[in-house]
């Protein structure tokens, strides 16, 4: 049993708008993400809890998140989660690919401690920046020993890693868990659980963190969207020049595809690629069909299905 005074939360900083800086405060929406070090972000919290450690993992705009970024983040998160005195982690992250990182971390780490991703929509030096409030809420959740798993905290809402999507490009609360609503809220610095997280089937088998770190070239899985007039030419061009290991197709509605795109993806499948059919709709997932040519993503969003397929192919390699 660790004494309360020795219990620690570690903040792993990766960049994003929460660490962004606007050079002209008359135009705070023109800023550069990933400029402010984590030590400064923590210093600027008016009252922050004690016993916080921090590590600057990288300084990126999360649009540039890639395998190398996820590898180092998973490695450091796994390390800190193993430390007995560490009761939770906070990861500061850009909003743009946060839902992908959240899904990835939950899939590969399945932590029994809270791992809380947080972010901001306004740069750190913008008037009324939302970053400090979000960071404080995330710390409150990371110190809450009744919580576990990967969660996202933003604008007072708490979302489960596999339920959250960024649905707005401007709002201070750009995340949603759809019809379910957030699984919790942070009210006056305390976590209020509103409902249990929904159940989900994680890809099986999953690579261990050790395998994932040892693998220097993760399977390449690309995402293509069905749209009016998609003639499949992009997929066919890739097949002759730079074929990926897998494709996720964000189909229309229930994952339906223009016949030309379908033909191109069938060709990819015949050549050995795995193809997963998802939907470009935010919610509802895709249902199986009697004439399915491709595996379907079920309730996974297209970007989640991309991560799931990458992990599945990693095990198969
Ligand atoms: C990013 O995703 O790194 C930039 C945008 C944001 O954090 O909102």
**Ligand 1 contact, 16 CB (< 6 A):** yes
Residue 237 sits in the same domain as residue 156: no
Q: Report whether pLDDT(29) > 70.
A: yes
- C-beta of 62 in contact with ligand 1 (< 6 A): yes
17 lines ligand 1 (CB under 6 A): yes
Asked whether residue 201 is domain-assigned, the answer is: no
Instruction: Please give the distance of CA 307 from its chain centroid, rounded to a whole number.
Output: 10
Instruction: Report yes or no on 234 lying in a domain.
Output: yes
In the β-sheet with 184-187, what is the strand arrangement from edge to edge? Answer: 52-60, 8-15, 86-92, 114-118, 149-154, 157-160, 184-187, 190-193
Measured between alpha carbons, how far is 115 from 52 in angstroms, rounded to an integer? 14
Tally Cβ neighbours within 10 Å of residue 34.
Answer: 21
The 10 Å CB-count burial string (b at 16+, else e) for 144-177 is beebebbbbbbbebbbbbbbbbbeeeeeeebbbb
Please check whether residues 176 and 227 belong to one and the same domain.
no
Task: State whether the beta carbon of 95 lies less than 6 angstroms from ligand 1.
Answer: yes
Q: Which residues of 183-202 are buried (b: 16+ CB within 10 A; e: fewer)?
A: bbbbeeeebeeeeebeebee
Res 254: pLDDT: 96
Tell me, using a 6 A CB cutoff, whether residue 251 lines ligand 1: no
What total of structural domains would you count in the chain?
2
Check whether 47 has a pLDDT greater than 80: no
Atom 7 of ligand 1, nearest CA residue: 94
CATH number at residue 57: 3.40.50.1170
Side-chain-facing half-sphere of 113: CA atoms under 13 Å: 22
Give residue 22's pLDDT. 96
Are 174 and 64 contained in the same domain? yes
Assign residue 266 the CATH number of its domain: 3.40.50.40
Q: Are residues 11 and 110 in the same domain?
A: yes
Q: What is the mean pLDDT of the chain?
A: 96
Q: Separation of 78 CA from ligand 1 center, angstroms?
A: 24
Q: Is the CB of 230 under 6 A from ligand 1?
A: no
**Ligand 1 center from residue 311 Cα (angstroms):** 25
Instruction: Give the mean pLDDT of 161-183.
Output: 97
Ligand 1 atom nearest residue 60's Cα = 3
**How many CA atoms does the CB half-sphere of 81 hold within 13 Å?**
23
Output the CA 214–ligand 1 centroid distance in Å.
29
Q: Is the confidence at residue 317, as pLDDT, over 70?
A: no
Sign of the torsion formed by the C-alpha atoms of 218, 64, 18 and 194 = negative
Q: For 31-54, what is the mean pLDDT?
A: 92
Ligand 1 near 118 CB (within 6 A): no
213 falls within a domain: no
Ligand 1 pocket check for 99: Cβ under 6 Å: no
Active-site amino acid positions = 17
pLDDT by residue (tens digit) across 197-220? 999 888 888 999 999 999 989 999
Q: Which of 19, 33, 117, 126 to mutate to test the pocket of ligand 1 (most atoms within 8 A of CB)?
A: 33
Residue with tokens 């305390």: 190
Shared-domain flag, residues 19 and 152: yes
User: Are residues 138 and 254 located together in one domain of the fold?
Assistant: no
Same domain for 181 and 233, yes or no, is: no
Backbone phi, then psi, for 257, in 5-degree steps?
A: -130, 140
**What atom in ligand 1 is closest to the CA of residue 63?**
2
Q: Are residues 80 and 34 in the same domain?
A: yes
Q: Are 304 and 271 in contact (CB under 8 A)?
A: no
The yes-or-no verdict on residue 124 having pLDDT over 80 is yes
3 Cα: distance to centroid of ligand 1 (angstroms): 37
In 3D, which of 211, 206, 234, 219 has the Cα closest to residue 313? 219
Identify the domain containing residue 123 by its residue range.
4-193
Q: Strands 221-225 and 274-279: what pairing?
A: unpaired
Cα(56) to ligand 1 centroid in Å equals 17
* Domain shared by 182 and 290, yes or no: no
User: Are both 186 and 312 inside the same structural domain?
Assistant: no
Residue 238 in domain: yes
**Residue 96 alpha carbon, nearest atom of ligand 1:** 2
Are residues 23 and 67 part of one domain? Answer: yes
* Protein residue closest via CA to atom 8 of ligand 1: 95
Please give the distance, rounded to the nearest whole angstrom, from the Cα atom of residue 182 to the centre of ligand 1: 21
Cα–Cα distance between 313 and 218 in angstroms, integer? 8
Which residue in this structure is represented by tokens 């499949």? 232
In a domain, 200, yes or no: no
Residue 150 domain-assigned? yes
Tokens of 24: 């002209």
Task: Decide whether any atom of ligand 1 lies within 6 Å of the 123 Cβ.
Answer: no
Task: Tell me, yes or no, whether 212 lies in a domain.
Answer: no
Q: What is the CA radius of gyration of the chain?
A: 20
Within this chain, do residues 97 and 42 fall inside the same structural domain, yes or no? yes
In a domain, residue 37? The reply is yes
Which of 274, 230, 272, 269 has its CA nearest to residue 248? 274
**16 alpha carbon to ligand 1 midpoint, in Å?**
4
**pLDDT tens-place string over residues 215-246:** 989 999 999 999 999 999 999 999 999 999 99
* CA–CA dist 128, 136 (Å, integer): 15
């Amino acid at each position: 049993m660790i004494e309360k005074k020795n219990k620690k939360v570690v903040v792993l900083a990766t960049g994003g708008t929460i660490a962004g800086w606007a050079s002209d405060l008359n135009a705070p929406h023109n800023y550069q993400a990933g400029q402010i070090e984590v030590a400064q972000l923590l210093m600027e919290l008016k009252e922050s809890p004690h016993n916080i450690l921090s590590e600057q993992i990288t300084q990126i705009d999360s649009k540039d998140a890639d395998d190398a970024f996820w590898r180092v983040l998973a490695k450091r998160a796994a390390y800190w989660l193993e430390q007995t005195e560490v009761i939770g982690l906070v990861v500061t992250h850009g909003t743009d690919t946060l839902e992908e990182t959240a899904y990835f971390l939950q899939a590969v780490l399945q932590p029994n401690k809270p791992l809380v991703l947080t972010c901001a929509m306004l740069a750190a030096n913008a008037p009324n920046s939302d970053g400090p409030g979000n960071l404080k809420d995330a710390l409150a959740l990371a110190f809450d020993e009744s919580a576990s798993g990967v969660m996202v905290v933003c604008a007072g809402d708490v979302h489960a890693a596999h339920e959250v999507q960024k649905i707005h490009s401007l709002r201070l609360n750009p995340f949603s868990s759809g019809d379910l609503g957030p699984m919790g809220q942070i009210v006056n610095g305390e976590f209020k659980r509103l409902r249990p997280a929904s159940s989900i089937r994680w890809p099986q088998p999953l690579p261990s963190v050790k395998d994932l770190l040892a693998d220097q070239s993760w399977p390449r899985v690309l995402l293509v969207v069905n749209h009016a007039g998609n003639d499949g030419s992009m997929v066919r061009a890739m097949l002759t020049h730079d074929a990926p290991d897998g494709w996720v197709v964000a189909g229309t509605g229930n994952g339906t595809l223009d016949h030309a795109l379908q033909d191109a993806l069938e060709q990819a499948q015949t050549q050995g690629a795995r193809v997963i059919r998802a939907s470009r709709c935010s919610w509802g997932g895709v249902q199986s069909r009697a004439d399915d040519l491709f595996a379907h993503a079920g309730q996974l969003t297209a970007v989640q299905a991309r991560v799931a397929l990458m992990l599945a192919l990693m095990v198969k390699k």
